[in-house]
Amino acid sequence: MKKLVLAVLIAIGVTFLVTYTYNQSEQETDTESKLLLTFSEGWRDGYCEGWKIVKGENADCPTAPESPVCEDCPDAYKLGFSKGFKAGRNSAQ
C-alpha cells in the first residue's frame, strides 16, 4: 500500500513539474510576441506621423510597409515609432 501511495505522489509531482515548465515557456513566447507587436505598432504610428509632417496634418496615411525585424528592442514602441517616422517622412518626399 505504501508503494502505491508513493507511486501516485511521484506521478502527481512529475505531472505538476511538466505542466509548470510548459506554462513558463508559453509565457516567454507571449512576451516575445508582445515586444514584436509593440515595435510594429510603433512603426505604423511613426510612419503615419512622418508622412503627415511632409504632406500636411490632414493627409490620409498610406498603408505602412512591413516593419523591419526588431533584433534588440529595449524600448520597442519608441524605437519602432522613430524608425517608422523617418521612413514615412522619406517616402512622402
**pLDDT (tens digit, 9 = 90+) per residue, 37-92?**
688 888 999 999 999 999 998 889 999 998 888 777 777 888 889 999 999 999 98
Residue 74's pLDDT is: 73
Question: Which range of residues forms the domain containing residue 42?
Answer: 2-92
Total domains present in the chain: 1
Instruction: For residues 4-33, give the mean pLDDT.
Output: 63
Helix (H) or strand (E) holding 36: helix 2-55
Distances (CA, A) of 21 to 6, 12, 18, 25, 35: 23, 14, 5, 6, 22
Residue 39 neighbours by CB under 8 Å, 6+ apart: 67, 70, 73, 76, 77, 79, 80
